[in-house]
Amino acid sequence: MDALTDLKAKYLSGISAASDEAGLEELRLAALGKKGEVSLKMRELGKMTPEERQVAGPALNALKEEIDGALRAKRAALADAALDERLKAEWLDVTLPGRPRPQGTIHPVSQVTEEVTAIFADMGFSVAEGPQIESDWHNFDALNIPPEHPARQEHDTFFMARAEGDNRPPHVLRTHTSPVQIRSMMANGAPIRVIAPGRVYRMDMDQTHAPMFHQVEGLAIGRDISMANLKWTLEEFCRAFFEVEQVDLRFRASHFPFTEPSAEVDIRCSWAGGQLKIGEGDDWMEILGSGMVHPKVLSAAGVDPEMWQGFAFGMGIDRLAMLKYGIPDLRAFFDSDLRWLRHYGFAALDMPTVHGGLSR
């Protein structure tokens, strides 16, 4: 029994003096491991007489449990000490003011989309949305675009791949948001007043064009809507968007398959000193296309052209952002450059409203 007393004293003192987990693990293996001293003593029980086992067995079990308990207690103490040291190093006064964190900014395209939406909402237009992958019928046929039109060729439009033997009409990445107008009229009929902002896709890429860009189109259908209503609407929009008192628009005759008559719209401006000023000067700048909705388009959407008429217009959101905020290269919109975004971006809570101001 003296040997057990010595083992107990040896390991309990070693455990008490251990300063880290590694040293504690060495003591555990030396005492209770497969070849540890206490484990070897346990194996000797089989060589003892029954009377000796009755005395040595309980003593060995008690020693094993005591050493194991001391190991667990010391391990917990070491963990607590390590936590205390870490907490001292990570001390934080929660009463101190918070540290300023980098703030995200709103992309100019998103900002201008919100500005455009706010202006037209103030004039009674609601926002309509539609799929970016469109049927050939919605994107072209319903808009009176003939089969031979250049826009329906693969050098201008992204056509979706079809399985071999699939003879169904093709689908395309929409080339404009005009299909949204068709879907809105089919769903809601007339009268109707909507704008359709969203992404559109065309095979083009340079300083002022991108294969994916953003567009907003407007549609107003009523009993007696005329070009005069279109002119007033666009003047009010330009006045609010560019935040100027005076706006002078010029309508030039043009041709679009989905409107008749059709007109390109220019706005009076000045480029004096390389700076764009809207509403003054002797220069003119094209900003959008417009016209009265073609009767065939109304018929395709289920609206009777004998009873209803209206106007439509379309403009590029990216181009509006470039003009208003002095952004020289369209390609920068898609570069994901955080420095550019911090320079041109907008505060997340700077929500544009007509009465409160559209931009900073």
Give the distance between the most distant pair of CA atoms in the chain. 120
The span from the CA of 17 to the CA of 35, in Å, is 22
Q: What is the mean pLDDT of each run of 10 residues along the chain (360 residues)?
A: 73 81 82 78 76 76 81 86 82 75 82 93 94 91 84 74 74 92 94 95 72 93 95 94 91 93 93 85 92 95 95 94 87 84 80 61
Residue 355: the pLDDT is: 59
Q: Are 156 and 203 in contact (CB under 8 A)?
A: yes
Q: Are 194 and 181 in contact (CB under 8 A)?
A: yes
Buried b or exposed e, range 62-85, using 16+ CB within 10 angstroms = ebbeebeebbeebbeebeeeeeee
Output the CATH code of domain 107-347. Answer: 3.30.930.10
Residue 360: the pLDDT is: 52
Interaxial angle between packed helices 2-17 and 21-32, expressed in degrees from 0 to 180 and rounded to the nearest 10: 170
Closest CA to 182 of 77, 302, 60, 345: 302
Residue 101: the pLDDT is: 66
pLDDT digits (tens, 9 = 90+) for 291-340: 999 999 999 999 999 999 999 999 999 999 988 988 888 888 888 888 88
pLDDT digits (tens, 9 = 90+) for 134-179: 998 999 989 988 877 776 666 678 888 876 777 777 889 999 999 9
Residue 152: the pLDDT is: 66
Residue 207: the pLDDT is: 60
Give alpha helix (H) positions in 255-331. Answer: 295-300, 317-325
Mapping DSSP to helix (H, G, I), strand (E, B) and coil, where does residue 204 land?
coil
The span from the CA of 161 to the CA of 175, in Å, is 16
Residue 62: the pLDDT is: 81
- In DSSP terms, 266 is beta-bridged to 250, 286
Residue 343: the pLDDT is: 85
Residues 103, 331, 195: CA angle, nearest 5 degrees? 80
CA-to-CA dists, residue 188 to 135, 142, 294, 336, angstroms: 20, 16, 18, 39
Residue 100: the pLDDT is: 72
Q: What is the pTM of this model?
A: 0.67
Domain ranges of the chain: 2-89, 107-347
Residue 102: the pLDDT is: 65
Give alpha helix (H) positions in 199-277. Answer: 227-241
The span from the CA of 238 to the CA of 250, in Å, is 12
Q: What's the distance, CA 286 to chain centroid?
A: 31
Structure tokens, 261: 């008559």
Q: Are 60 and 42 in contact (CB under 8 A)?
A: yes
- Residue 351's contacts (CB-CB under 8 Å, 6 or more residues apart) are 114
Does an H or E element contain 270, and which?
A: strand 259-270
